[in-house]
Amino acid sequence: MFKKGLIVAILSVLMAMGMGMNVLAELNVPPVEYDTSKEMTPEIAAIIESIEKANVKIYTEIYKVQGETNSLYKKYLEDLEATQDETQKAMLWKKYDEKINEMIKSLDAKTQSITKKEVEKAKSAGVTVEVVWITVQFADREANIDPMVGVGW
């Protein structure tokens, strides 16, 4: 008797889950649309445009450093294949590691400076800005960089 009850309970749960998933997976839900043209003043629009320009600068710097680190990594690998001496390999790694870390550190300082300036500008205009850390791949390592998003006014 217990086995039949357990089997019925399990089948009931599975059937309820199978039927319930179709309701939750509604795909044709229209997005919520807001008419911000009535709410946005020219000052706020200028600040948001300034934030977007700052983000373009940040992403441009990220792509530039990514290209430089990728070419530096490629050269490091070529030099590593050319040498057999372990001390030279260690020197190559140390030199490469210091150079890459310096490039990422410099990029981070530059992007934080841009972000700080734009956040202060936005705050004085009454726009709320959120700094969003994104993970960026630089050759053989990752780092967090900080573009911004205007979240309210």
- Segment 78-123, tens digit of pLDDT: 999 999 999 999 999 999 999 999 999 999 999 999 999 998 988 8
A 10 A CB-CB count for 114 gives 19
Instruction: Please report whether residue 92 resides in a domain.
Output: yes
Instruction: Please report whether residue 20 resides in a domain.
Output: no
Query: CB of 118 within 8 A of CB of 133?
Result: no
Instruction: Please report whether residue 65 resides in a domain.
Output: yes
Instruction: Please report whether residue 49 resides in a domain.
Output: yes
Instruction: Please report whether residue 6 resides in a domain.
Output: no
Query: What is the pLDDT at residue 106?
Result: 96
Instruction: Please report whether residue 131 resides in a domain.
Output: yes
Instruction: Please report whether residue 15 resides in a domain.
Output: no
pLDDT digits (tens, 9 = 90+) for 19-48: 655 554 445 556 555 555 556 778 888 888
Q: If residue 100 lies in a helix (H) or strand (E), which one and from where to where? A: helix 86-125
In the chain, what is the greatest distance between 2 CA atoms, to the nearest angstrom?
76
Model pTM above 0.85: no
Domain that holds residue 115: 42-152
Instruction: Please report whether residue 3 resides in a domain.
Output: no
Number of domains in the chain: 1
pLDDT above 90 for 8: no
